[in-house]
Structure 1
Amino acid sequence: MAKTVAMLVLIMVAAMSGASADDCKPEQLAVCLPAIISGSAPTDACCSNLRAQQGCFCQYAKDPNYARYIGSPNARKALTTCGINIPNC
């Protein structure tokens, strides 16, 4: 639970600080937190948002606020389950 709250806070701080490019909106990945944190199956909404943010994955992977989530085994599992190629950054 604490990890989920921490991730949501990081997403909101990044969104408000303008840390992401105009089309990179990490807050849209909040719907994927259960899949990324616990390894549960990603929802359709999660897969849709992952597809929409696919071009931003390398940017997120380089950001210390998101790197551990984007590069996690559960995130890779979510990408694979959603049929999205794992980026090679």
Structure 2
Amino acid sequence: MAALTCNPMELSPCMSAILSSAPPSASCCSKLKEQQPCFCQYEKNPQLKGYMNSSNSNKVANFCEVPIPKC
């Protein structure tokens, strides 16, 4: 298995769900699961922190059943 590359652009399928109240797509959920080990790294990035901590991000993660780690 290839090593995971932490790339926040991989989460672009989730942007419409995070920025609106649209339900996340299947591709969003699969990308969230794939990028989950990177969440703490993203949260430390000042440009991404607002997205990671938004209530819509939590709703998307809950919808996709991807737990948000405590960083």
TM-score higher than 0.5: yes
Taking structure 2 as the reference length, what is the TM-score of the superposition? 0.90
Moved over 4 A (4+): none
For 1:30-49, list aligned pairs within 5 A: 30-49=12-31
SS of the residue corresponding to residue 15 of structure 2 reads helix
Taking structure 1 as the reference length, what is the TM-score of the superposition? 0.73
Count of aligned positions? 68
RMSD (Å) for aligned C-alpha atoms: 1.0
Is the contact between residue 28 and residue 49 of structure 1 (CA under 8 Å) also seen in structure 2? yes
Gaps of 5+ in 1: 1-21
- Higher alpha-carbon Rg: 1
Q: What is the one-letter code of the residue matched to 2:45?
A: D
